[in-house]
Structures are given as structure tokens and as C-alpha cells.
Chain A
Amino acid sequence: MLWIKLVKQIVLILQSEISPKQVAAGAALGMILGFAPVKCMQSYVILVIILMLNVNLGSATLSAGVFAMLGFLLDPLADKIGYHLLVNSKTLTPFWTSLYNMPLIPFTRFYNTIVLGSFVISLILAVPVYLLTLRFINYYRSHFKDKVSKWKIMKLFKVTSAYNVYDKYQ
């Protein structure tokens, strides 16, 4: 079941020795990737950034998946934000006009209300997600890591290749 896999992935990341900052950065970038639509240029650019930078790929993948699902629920809010920025804010019209007529920029589909709204939401949430993830990981590792590592299920995880792969995501 999907939610069991999600929980497993989260626990494995938390239990590993990967740098909390890398995990948090991966989560933040993954969130931006999750909110971005698949067939747009920015998805590819963010993916390349995630691959190139020293961020945790596991947390980025997990975060992208979770926020992609959440993105659908936030579509009405994103649509309103995007509509307000694109249509109602007349002062921004010259800016959007110059962007719209530039080369390559239209491939980001920024002129779609949901795309722009989702992007704005992801930018607003990027720093809070990074900080909260960082804090959570530090808190977890200082208070729960040892207890959880003694659970029987963790012993089962450790012998599977999945755990080893996660350890390699450094």
C-alpha cells in the first residue's frame, strides 16, 4: 500500500546518517518539483538542480510525490492566486507581456493560472519546509533515533538493500 511505502521511506531517511541540511534541502526542492506541472520546462530545470546539487535524492523524490498529490488539492487556491497575479494585477501586465514574448520563457507555461499560482505557493513554502524539515530531523535524531533503531521492524529494514541504497544517497 502506498502509505506504508511512504512511512518506510521516511523512517529510513530519518534513521540514516545523511546530513539533515541535505535532507531538508532535498525536501524543499522536491516540493517545488512536486508543485510544478510535468510537461513544463521548469520541472526539468528543477530536476537537474536536484541532481547536480548535494541534496538528498530520497527526500527530494518523496517530497515531490507527496506535494504532487497535495498540489491537486491546492489547485483552487493556486488558480485564484494565479488569476489575481495574471489578470487582476494590471501593474504586472507589462512584466508578463515582456516575459510572454521572450524566447524559451513561454515553455514554462507561467501564463497558466494554476502553474503560476502553484509556483508562488511553492516559493512561499520553500523556506518554511526547509526549516521545519531540518528541525524535525534534528529533533527526531536526538530523541527517537536510538529507540526506533531497536524496533524489530528496523532490524528487518537494515538487512534489505533499500536501506543500503538510502545510505548511499549522500
Chain B
Amino acid sequence: MSKLIRMDHTGHCTLAEWTPDDPAAVERAVEAFRSELDRGYLAMVSTGPGHAEHVRELPLDAELVIMRLPISGG
């Protein structure tokens, strides 16, 4: 089961869960994913120890997709 989560004031919340063979769940996840992108969030996927990747489309095969806010110099 893949998960789309967003880091927020609650620690994090699950926005969607899906398996690639469930089209309805995939559609809901893609919708939630796009909605977060529209709100200015960035999507990250871990790609191994010490590596992460910024993604612009929901990777259906990823176990965990994390939505984060942009960073800036302080």
C-alpha cells in the first residue's frame, strides 16, 4: 500500500493511500497530490539511503510520497 503524506502542524497526515491496481484509489491520490502542488507544496520521494528526489507527478510505484513546504535562507 502506497501512501501520500503531508508534513504539517499535526506532525504529518495521510492524504491518500493506494495500490496501483485500484484505479479509484489512484485517481483520488492523484487528485490529492495535484491539490497539494497547487497549494505550493513540493513532493519528495526517498530513493535510497541519503537520497531523495523531487517529483512533479505522483509516482504510483513509490511506497511513500512526502509533501513538504519550500525552504528559504534565513
Q: Do A and B come from one complex?
A: no
